Structure 1
Amino acid sequence: MDDDAEEARGAGALVVNDAGEYLLHLRDDIPGICDPGAWSLIGGNRDSGETSEETIRRELKEEAGLDLPDLVRFTVAESVGHDGLAKGRVQVFRAVWNGDAAALPVGEGIMFHWFAPDVVPRLRMSGWARAAIARDQGREPDEGG
């Protein structure tokens, strides 16, 4: 197992469809949570004893009712908390899914939506999720990401 992945505090899912759009999750705008009111990837913190893969599979099920069998490790991103301080590393997995975002059950947050890559830069978004999308687009995060 990858040491970087197991040191990651959280896990996220970069879900893309065949049109090249990204499935994003609008987080609740409440104090005390990571990235309140921002668009992000589905994901969350690891529970004690979980691997990164177990974490993302649990989070996908809890937050969106999804079971994505083709998840693969993609990148590791740095998360910054609502207080501006570093929170830790996030192991990002990537998968393809072509479903209806609006039909997903919302277990946490507000809603899910597909976004084209050219729309992503205009969104209020968590930094680690923006970095993962930039890498998926073949850019480093500081190049407009």
Structure 2
Amino acid sequence: MEIDIPPRDGQFAMPENYLHIWPRHKFVIIASPNQDKSFNATLILPMSIFNSLSKSEEISQFFQQYFPDFLSFVGSDDIIKTFLSSKPHSLITIKCSTYVSSTGDMLLMGDAAHSMAPFYAQGMNAAFEDCLVLFETLKQTNFDIQKAFIAYK
């Protein structure tokens, strides 16, 4: 779910050169800056928690309990309004069964082959791992791309 953090007095409400993260045990808020000096904050919760928060009082209590520091940037009324007027979206992971084309001259790797939910840079980590494995495979095949792609598969 997306929550807007508006500018304060025409300026960023927080330092703009950072990704701001409010990690909690089973959920997190991640905020990134925009050119208009606002921030887009993404609330990531298990769907069961989203579904359990259907009343204004429950939403306010949840944020006061788990994200009181975040509330200082948005305010309870705005969070409640956003929460009640938005639907959460599921995070998914996609894995391809085949990464190499049938002709052996094209290879999918990184997010093209296995997209992941945006936690702890796992998509980037998987892409780096793909590059490392492919490079090792290329070395083992004397940099014969078709042989390396088939072996990589």
Q: TM above 0.5, one fold?
A: no
Calculate the TM-score normalised by the size of structure 2.
0.25
Give the TM-score taking structure 1 as reference length.
0.26
Q: Larger Cα Rg: Structure 1 or Structure 2?
A: 2
More strand by share: 1
